[in-house]
Structure formats: C-alpha cells, structure tokens
Chain A
Amino acid sequence: MDACFPVKVTQAHVADLLARRAERPFDVLFFPVLTHALTAVRGCADTASCPLVAGTPLVTRAAFGCDEEGRLPDGARLLSPVLTLTRPAQLAARLFDAVRAIAPELTTDEHERALDRARAGQRRFEESLEREGAQAIARAAADGRAAIVVLGRPYHADPGIHHDIGSELHALGRTTLSVRALPKAREYLDDLGCCAASLDLSDTGRSLTNSGDGEKLVGARIVAAHAYLAAIEICSFKCGQDASLYGEVAEVARRGGKPFLPLHDLDETRPVGSLRLRLRTFLDRLERYEDALRPRMKVGE
C-alpha cells in the first residue's frame, strides 16, 4: 500500500500512542470516520472528505489487528463511528450510539447538552480565528507588507506535516495565515475587497466534491482579490486531491502578477536548506511586488 504522507503520519501517531500506553494510559482511542466536513464554501457538488482521510481509521483498524468491534490485541479500543458533520441529526444519533458502546449510562439529554456545548465552542473558536485573521491582514496592509496565506488542508496544522513553514516565515518577519483563519464573514470580505460571492464556486464550471478543494480555491480567490495577500501552497506527497487542482490554484493565486510559491510533495524529509532558499527567494519576489505596489497606491490616493 502506498498511501499519502498524512495518512502514513496518522498511523505513526497511533503506533506512538499505543507504544506509550503504559506511560499515558487510555482505554479508548476515538478515531472517527469523517465522511463530510463543514465549510463556508458554497456552490460545490459536495463537501466530502478525501476518501483516504475518511477511510484511514478503517485501514488503521486492519493494520493494528483490531477485531470487528475495534478492539486492539492489547485490550484498548479504537472507536471509529461513521460521522457526517453536515447532517446534524444523523451526526447526533451516530455519535450517541458510538459513545453508548463505551459509556452505557449516557443519557440522551446529557449527549445533546454536550453536543450543543461542543458546537458553540467550535463556533467561538472559528469566529475568534477569523477575527484575528482579519486583524492580522489589516496590520500587514497598514505596514505595506503582504500577509502570506498558506493554502493547505486541515491536517497541515500538524507541525510534522507542514515542516514548520509558518514558523520559518514568522521568523523572517512575515504574517502568516491558514485558509481557516481567512475571514469569511460578509463584513470582513467587504474590507478585503471581496464580495460574499467569492465563497460561491458555482461559477468555476467544476463539479468540486471535496471540502478541501473548495477551501483551497476560495483561499486563492481571496488572495487574488486583496493587494496585500500572497499565497504559498503546500501539498503533501501523493495527495491525489491536490493533484487535480495544482494548475487552477496557481493561476488564481498569481493573478495581478503576484508571486506564488507552490511547495508540492512534502514528505518526511525536511530539506532545510532548499526549503529556506525557496522561501527567501519567494520573499525577495514578494518585496519587489510590494515595492511596485507602493507608488501605484500613492497615485490612487
């Protein structure tokens, strides 16, 4: 089996947890099969997860010798309910069934209250993330320096997968945001020079079905619309979802002559030297772009 790098990392994480179970004991490892993701993007045929992301818990069960109930040979349990985040009622029912298997005393009321709190917490987190994202973009623009949006997927939040590219950029004095931190509320989009329609991809002519595909394209659109945003795209080794988008993401993010840096096929090897060289080269081009932008902005004023 030749999986993509994030899937390999996932199995390594599970192996690590199991190897250190004596030191950090647990009875249940919650590793759900997430078939669909919630996203602000509209106009797509579907918001499904990549089949590998969704199916990895099942492959992990096989790889680590789980029985049909998900029990590992050492007695721990891998709990992998099939959850569809876009269908709240179905999500609640399936989650309840799954948790009841390990906590039979759980009542429906307790379960509903816990879900409500989880949803509220998620909303608060996303609102604060986007608010801070908007503030960061505004600060960068006021300084005449472009903020850099890292066009990646949710699993690129793992430092082992993104190779600390954000930290490298931060150390070089650059504001860096993930796609999720890009503001998507109407008032923020207006400030960025985007209309709310930017989140609607029905005009692309593509039948996008993957949530991450849609978010990447919308991220590239927002970057294209704002003078002080530029993009770096990171893709992990053997990502089939990204493969079909390479060209389009680059075309959109490069609009207006903006520098764009695609970092493809990232795997477990971290080529520090060449990575820094490529980042510095990109930043050099970005500085020239910013220099060219300043006189134009003054004339416009």
Chain B
Amino acid sequence: MSSERTLLVGGLSSVHDPLLAAALRGCGRRAEALHPRTDSGLKLARGFGNHGQCNPAHYAVGAVLEHARSSGMVAHAFCETRAWLTVGSCGPCRLAAFPHEYARVLAGAGLGALPVVLVDQLAFARDRGPAAAPTIRAEEASALLVAVVVADVVVRELMAADAKLVATWDRLAEAAGYSTRLAAPDDLAALASAHYDPRVRGGSAHLEVGRALQAVRDRTAHLVLSLKPFGCLPSSSLSDGILSVRLRQTASPSFLAIETTGDADATAESRMEMALHAATLTASAELEAASADAAMTTGEALLLLGALGDRPVPCGPRRYACTAAERLCRLTDATRDASPAVPRGAGTG
C-alpha cells in the first residue's frame, strides 16, 4: 500500500516544495507540492493546535488540511492514499517541536492516520504516524538534497556554513551584477559575537544580528527589516532586543521588526510605510550630499544617472547606502582621477 501513496511535499517554502516534489517524481515516485501556505490554512490549523505555537508549524499543517478538504475525499481514503513529506522543524530553534504539533492538528482534523515523513536535523527521513510511511530510498534522498540546495540558491539563502556554496553564490551574484556578496554564516557569527554569543544557540538569531551589523559596516541599507513568524523566540525576543538598541546607536540603518500573525496586515503595512518613508528621507539626504560633492543639483544628478542607465553598484567599500548617491560618488571620483587638477568639492555650481 505504502508504495502507491502520493507524497504531498510541503513545509519549506513555495520555491522548495515544488522542486522537492519534482525531484521525487524524477525518481519515479508519485509526488506533488502542496499549494502555497495561506492564512486560511493557518486559522484552520490553529483551531486544532496548541495556542502560542509559532506559526510556521500551523501554516505547514494547515496546507495539508486545505489540500484534504479540496481533494473531495473522505478522511480515511485520503489517509490511505497520501503521505506528507515535510520538515521536522523550522531550523535549529528548539521551540518548534513541530512533529508533535503536526500530529495534534492532524488528529484533531480527523487525519490522524496520515503518514508523515519528516526531514530534520536528527534524521534525514523518519516516520511519524500510525501508518507506515513510504520509505525514502537513497537515490531519492540524494535528489531531495540537491533540490534543497538548488532552492536555497534560488531564494538567496544558504542553510549550511559551507564555504564552497558561498563562493558559488558569490560568483553567480557577481555575474548577475549584484553588488552584495553573500556572507558565510561563520563570518556573520563572528560579526555578531561581541553582542550575541553564537553559543547561546538561539536558532539563527546570531545570523540576524550579524547580517544587520554587516549592513552597518558596509553601508548597504537604510532600513533593517526583521521579519519573523508569530512566536519566533530567537528573533522576536533576542535579536530584536539587541538590534533595537545597537542600531539606535548608529545614524543608519533604522530598525523595524514585524511579526507575521496571519492577520493585522493593515498594521504591518502602516508600520512598513512609516519605516520606508524614514529610509527614503535618509537616502535623499545622502543623494543631496553626493550631488553637492559633485557640484550638481539633485535633479541634475538623477538626470545624469538616468542617462547612464540602470547599472548595479560594483562590489567594494561604499560611502553611501543609497545606490544613486554611491553611483554618483564613484562617477565623481572617477572624473577626479581622470582630472587630478580638480580638487574634491571644487565644482563650478
């Protein structure tokens, strides 16, 4: 029976899930990706789960409940012909305890007999559920790993501190004209360590702190947005607590933390608009400064940059986080280098 089951793949992201399902189909397995997770699925799952649980677990299992509903099948037929392949947690955070939450919600919804294949840090694929889950064969495991890595690169995330992967990303980014290099997790941890000791092991919070401090050091942002799911302990209570203080001590970037709850979108949008307005003002001030240094008005500078086309800022140390200001600054420097007799700031107006 288990070999005939269709594997429903869902729980990582809307990029990962279809790739993982395709990888399994390539190995001859019946597999399909669950549709992107929705707020309605979240609400459905919350009704059966523990309140206060972080919402990635409920989003993931909510997608299964919605899929079961839309399949038009009765519960026992759905459980006999399907299995769910998903992740055992959202990362190294210890809070999640996802598998048990999945079981609770599925049981509450009458799908307690659905086999669940978990992929997590403890084992690549282990069964959970009353029925025997399909066994993941070695070639399928390899295909799934490749799919995860490819998806990670697609969404510009790396889940492992692998220098080779980081180097691969950097080459791809440079070829595509991106100015930011993907930092190795170890480098981010080192940046964060003065404020957040990575040995605390609070999920990926130290990477969040490191990434924000990197933006300060390299002048690559006017706004650091910390977006996290409802109930994410490492992010909402640790990195936010540190970054909200540390970034206040710097002129830029500003800091905004938003917890996604599945509702209250209007509040989040309103806060985002205010933060973006402040960031735009900072960027405008930088452009004004760069324009003055180039002996131009801001309007003239924008005309010049527009005429040169939309080009990325090359890698290297930056004076401004504002892309237009930085491009103008580099043009000014290049012009001065070509005409060394003209001193800095000695424009004709």
A63 interface contact, C-beta 8 A: yes
Distance in Å: Cβ of B229 to nearest Cβ of chain A: 11
- Chain A residues near B246 (CB, 8 Å)? 62
Q: CB-defined interface of A63-80 with B at 8 Å, one 1/0 digit per residue?
A: 101001000000000000
Check if A243 sits within 8 Å of B240, measured CB to CB: no
Check if B94 sits within 8 Å of A51, measured CB to CB: yes
- Chain A residues near B205 (CB, 8 Å)? 51, 55
Check if A58 sits within 8 Å of B51, measured CB to CB: no
- Chain A residues near B169 (CB, 8 Å)? none
Check if B194 sits within 8 Å of A48, measured CB to CB: no
Check if B244 sits within 8 Å of A1, measured CB to CB: yes
Check if B53 sits within 8 Å of A1, measured CB to CB: no
CB contact under 8 A between A1 and B237, given known A55-B200, A205-B128: yes
Distance in Å: Cβ of A234 to nearest Cβ of chain B: 14
Distance in Å: Cβ of B287 to nearest Cβ of chain A: 32
Check if A33 sits within 8 Å of B199, measured CB to CB: yes
**Which residues from 110 to 159 on chain B have a C-beta closer than 8 Å to any C-beta of chain A?**
120, 122, 128
With A and B bound together, what is the CA distance between A93 and B199 in angstroms? 15
CB contact under 8 A between A51 and B200, given known A3-B241, A239-B52: yes
Distance in Å: Cβ of A73 to nearest Cβ of chain B: 13
Which residue of chain B has the shortest Cβ distance to A11 in the bound complex? B241
With A and B bound together, what is the CA distance between A242 and B53 in angstroms? 9
With A and B bound together, what is the CA distance between A205 and B200 in angstroms? 26
Which of B75-83, B97-105, B277-285 contacts the other chain?
Answer: B97-105
With A and B bound together, what is the CA distance between A2 and B241 in angstroms? 8
With A and B bound together, what is the CA distance between A3 and B239 in angstroms? 11
Check if B237 sits within 8 Å of A3, measured CB to CB: yes
CB contact under 8 A between A246 and B51, given known A51-B203, A206-B99: yes
- Chain A residues near B195 (CB, 8 Å)? 58, 61-62, 68
With A and B bound together, what is the CA distance between A2 and B240 in angstroms? 9
Number of A-B contacts (CB under 8 A): 124
Which residue of chain B has the shortest Cβ distance to A237 in the bound complex? B52
Which residue of chain B has the shortest Cβ distance to A48 in the bound complex? B94
- Chain B residues near A138 (CB, 8 Å)? none
Q: Which of B50, B54, B197, B241 contacts A82 (CB 8 A)?
A: B197
A52 interface contact, C-beta 8 A: yes
Which residue of chain A has the shortest Cβ distance to B249 in the bound complex? A65
Distance in Å: Cβ of A37 to nearest Cβ of chain B: 12
**Which residues from 231 to 274 on chain B have a C-beta closer than 8 Å to any C-beta of chain A?**
231, 233-234, 236-238, 240-242, 244-246, 257, 259
> Most A CB atoms within 10 A — which of B93, B99, B122, B201?
B201
With A and B bound together, what is the CA distance between A210 and B94 in angstroms? 7
Check if B197 sits within 8 Å of A58, measured CB to CB: yes
Which residue of chain A has the shortest Cβ distance to B238 in the bound complex? A55
With A and B bound together, what is the CA distance between A154 and B238 in angstroms? 20
- Chain B residues near A241 (CB, 8 Å)? 94-95, 233
- Chain A residues near B96 (CB, 8 Å)? 244
**Which residues from 163 to 221 on chain B have a C-beta closer than 8 Å to any C-beta of chain A?**
194-197, 199-203, 205
Check if B241 sits within 8 Å of A206, measured CB to CB: no
CB contact under 8 A between A46 and B94, given known A52-B237, A58-B195, A62-B241: yes
Q: Which of A35, A68, A207 contacts B200 (CB 8 A)?
A: A35
CB contact under 8 A between A243 and B237, given known A82-B199, A207-B88: no
With A and B bound together, what is the CA distance between A207 and B191 in angstroms? 31
- Chain A residues near B238 (CB, 8 Å)? 51-52, 55, 58-59
With A and B bound together, what is the CA distance between A62 and B240 in angstroms? 11
- Chain A residues near B52 (CB, 8 Å)? 238-240, 242-243, 246
With A and B bound together, what is the CA distance between A115 and B193 in angstroms? 28
Known pairs A3-B237, A59-B237, A243-B231. 19 more at Cβ < 8 A?
A2-B237, A3-B236, A35-B201, A45-B122, A51-B93, A52-B237, A52-B238, A55-B200, A59-B241, A61-B195, A63-B245, A68-B194, A213-B97, A240-B231, A242-B52, A243-B51, A243-B53, A244-B50, A247-B104
